[in-house]
Amino acid sequence: MKKSIVMATTALVLASCGANKETLTTPAIDDFNYTVEQFADMQILRYRVPEIEQLSLQQQELLYYLTEAALQGRDILFDQNGKYNLAIRQLLEAIYTDPNQDKASADFKALELYLKRVWVSNGIHHHYGGDKFVPAFSQTYFETAVKALPVEQLPLREGETVETLLATLVPVIFDPAVDAKRVNQAAGEDLVLTSACNYYDGVTQVEVEDFYAKMKQPNDPMPISYGLNSKLVKKDGVIYEDVYKVGGLYSAALEKVVYWLEKAKAVAENDQQREVIQKLIEFNQTGHLKTFDEYAILWVKDTASTIDFVTGFTETYGDPLGMKASWEALINFKNVEATKRTTIISDNAQWFEDHSPIAEEFKKEEVKGVTAKVITAAMLGGDCYPTTPIGINLPNANWIRAAHGSKSVTIENITEAYDQASHGNGFLEEFAWSPNEIALMDAYKSQTDNLHTDLHECLGHGSGKLLPGVDPDALKAYGAVIEETRADLFGLYFMADPKMVELGLLPNDSAYKAQYYSYFMNGLMTQLTRVELGKNIEQSHMRNRQLITKWVYHKSQTDGDRAVEIRERDGKQFVVINDYKLLQKHLGELLAEIQRIKSTGDYKAAQNIVETYAVKVDLDLHKEILERYAKLNIAPYKGFVNPVYKASFDKNGKFTGLSLNYTEGYAEQHLRYSRDYSPLTVKK
């Protein structure tokens, strides 16, 4: 037995190092090559899929069909992120693979870099900051290369010529003023008209808000998430929804998603999971949002299945108004051992709710259906690919959370890849105040990062309640920032509670300090490495982190306790935490205010606190941080390539096994996806 395990592991080690071997055995951490390549501000990694070999044959077959469904929605996200993204991607890939191109020329290399960034962001705007990329290749080079392509490789619509195609796309690519931001969050502007995302066509922000306000029923105990799965269009003076469904918008992609979901349903682990998949199929076929709610309720109640999935229109960060959902997919299975940690948290959900520092009127009298688990990601798709969250809490509808609960996950094989790829990069030595903080984070940061994600997703998002009659969308464009702030604060506040040690979630009463220091160092300083010099912070999660740390920083200065401060040494600025318990007190005070804003729908207060603390950047500090960071040659963002799954079938079509290959390169994977999973692109 030992010999066969060693032989199988060796085969996969060869695969991770470049040999073209396939197996289902997971490589050891020390033998796995996590890094694929680095370019611009991005490092591309691989992730392991540990313990997949322990799944039954039926579970492997189910997993395979779900991974295929996950990949079929790729084109949808590209189109949602911008109406010209699919055509631009198709042209760039055609030039990139054109054998007549001079691959050594500066223009070609610049186009290659631009294309790699487009793949990362599922479009021409930065995946995190939302600003449009600036191409380093010339307009003349691009136009000449396009005109030299065979006509069958051009994304020409009916009646379109190469000249009219270029007339449309050249300004979009090269003019900085055209579609400058994918999601604009600037106060005082029409967020719909100034955002390049493709959720609206011909309508203003006021028209959008009025359209959906008329649909809502006041005091509805089960409010529908209106607009979640549609594009709002104004044509000939009439405003209507173009719904995402089979037979509607994105039909060609959704038909393929449904095809693979049907195959998955046939090999579901149990009747409950089969019912979940069937309801998701119905939603894709009809586009009915009542059906989506029925699916979400069934999904959150399925806690018995090992295989799980998110496949569809889910998160609304890509919409400046926070209503319309992007397409995403995360296929996964339960990490049984690590889930023991999240089970402890969910089993004690009522204790955390009762001891939260928020006002009693905003607390849930009875916490229902909170489940949490640690998962192993098997396939990333849509808005989870190639960049992905490390934790998820769903469903998003507040009334479903209150009545039926929520399901939270921490994606531990993704955090493992992050940790393994960051060893020895010099980051902490450059930005931490002293060896004491470095030692603290070396000892406990990985553990407390996972725990904070657990608390954020499992309890933070599921905590508190809206007062009767409060519109879930009352905070409008500020809703996403407030919600992420609330969940982060919940996790941070309880991280320092003695209950963590009592429950065995932390080894001692000092471990939480690693999370506090790394969070404040990031929120006040180092996350600025992800922002272009002179720009404001646009992304919701970054705004959330700066809001928390800046508010607490200013609170500690105002109160005079100096729990946290910024000190200068040798011409460099550092975060210093003087009193961790006082820091927890301030975090609790902010949590109470953020929950009040959420529970009462206080739009003005949300606007004030976000615009005061979350948006603006200190220019001098920003410049310093960028200069120090540049010397480390570290990419501030991470993305992933997926493993390649290969299913085996006998002559009768019966599934006989699954194998994984970890060798596929970044460009190789995206070109394959564009070839095999592009139902929405123009083909001749």
Residue 186 identity (one-letter amino acid): A
Question: Which of 155, 174, 193 marks a domain boundary?
Answer: 174
- What is the C-alpha to C-alpha distance for residues 49 and 24, in angstroms, rounded to an integer? 9
* 26-29, Cβ contacts within 8 angstroms, sequence gap of 24 or more: 26/50, 26/51, 26/52, 26/53, 27/662, 29/416, 29/420
- Residue 52 has what DSSP assignment? G
Examine residue 522 and state whether it is found in any structural domain, yes or no: yes
Convert the pLDDT of each residue in 632-682 to its tens digit.
999 999 999 999 999 999 999 999 999 999 999 999 999 999 999 999 998
Residue 662 lies in a domain: no
The answer on pLDDT for 271 being more than 70 is yes
Which pLDDT score, from 0 to 100, does residue 219 have? 86
Average pLDDT, the chain: 94
Q: Per-residue pLDDT tens for 466-524?
A: 999 999 999 999 999 999 999 999 999 999 999 999 999 999 999 999 999 999 999 99
Nearest-10 crossing angle of helices 251-266, 57-71 = 180
- 180 lies in some domain: no
Is-cis flag, bond preceding 395, omega within 30?
Answer: yes
pLDDT at 71: 98
Share of the chain residues as helix, strand and coil, in percent rounded to the nearest 5? 50, 15, 35
User: Exposure of 341 by Cβ count < 10 A (0-12 exposed, 13-18 middle, 19+ buried)?
Assistant: buried
d(CA 633, CA 43): 11
Q: Are β-strands 572-577 and 637-641 bridged in parallel, bridged antiparallel, or unpaired?
A: unpaired
Whole-angstrom Cα distance, residue 270 to residue 268?
Answer: 6
Q: How confident is the model at residue 24 (pLDDT cuts 50, 70, 90)?
A: confident
First to last CA, the chain: 53
Boundary (domain end) residue, out of 638, 656, 673: 638
Say if residue 386 is preceded by a cis peptide, omega within 30 of 0.
yes
* Residue 279, in any domain of the structure: no
Q: Is the pLDDT of residue 576 over 60?
A: yes
Q: Which two tokens stand for residue 665?
A: 């390169």
> Number of structural domains, the chain?
2
Which residue bears the tokens 């991770």? 16
pLDDT digits 0-9 by tens, 218-268: 889 999 999 999 999 999 999 999 999 999 999 999 999 999 999 999 999
Report the candidate in 406, 378, 412, 385 with the shortest Cα–Cα distance to residue 309: 378
C-alpha–C-alpha distance, residues 208 and 192, integer Å:
8
Q: Which of 151, 292, 168, 143 is nearest to 227 (CA)?
A: 292
Kindly state whether residue 328 falls inside one of the protein's structural domains.
no
| 533 pLDDT above the threshold of 50 | yes
In a domain, 537, yes or no: yes
Distance CA 163, CA 51 (A): 53
- Beta carbons within 8 Å of 402's beta carbon, 6+ residues apart: 364, 368, 465
Is the distance from CB of 455 to CB of 341 less than 8 angstroms?
Answer: no
Q: What CA–CA distance (Å, rounded) separates 521 from 538? A: 19
In this predicted structure, the answer to whether residue 108 has a pLDDT above a threshold of 50 is: yes
Q: How far is CA 518 from CA 144, 254, 525, 546, 632, in A?
A: 49, 42, 10, 13, 18
Cα→Cα distances 329→73, 255, 392, 631, Å: 8, 16, 12, 36
Which residues span the domain enclosing 575?
A: 335-638
387-433 pLDDT, tens digit per residue, is 999 989 899 999 999 899 999 899 999 999 998 988 888 999 999 99
Degrees, nearest 5: CA angle 591-593-599 = 95
Helix (H) or strand (E) holding 294: helix 289-301
The residue out of 127, 146, 174 marking a domain boundary is 174
Between CA 162 and CA 443 the distance in angstroms is 59
pLDDT value for 1: 34
Determine the residue type at 337: E
Q: Does residue 510 lie in a domain region? A: yes
308 assigned to some structural domain:
no
Q: What pLDDT is recorded for position 422? A: 84
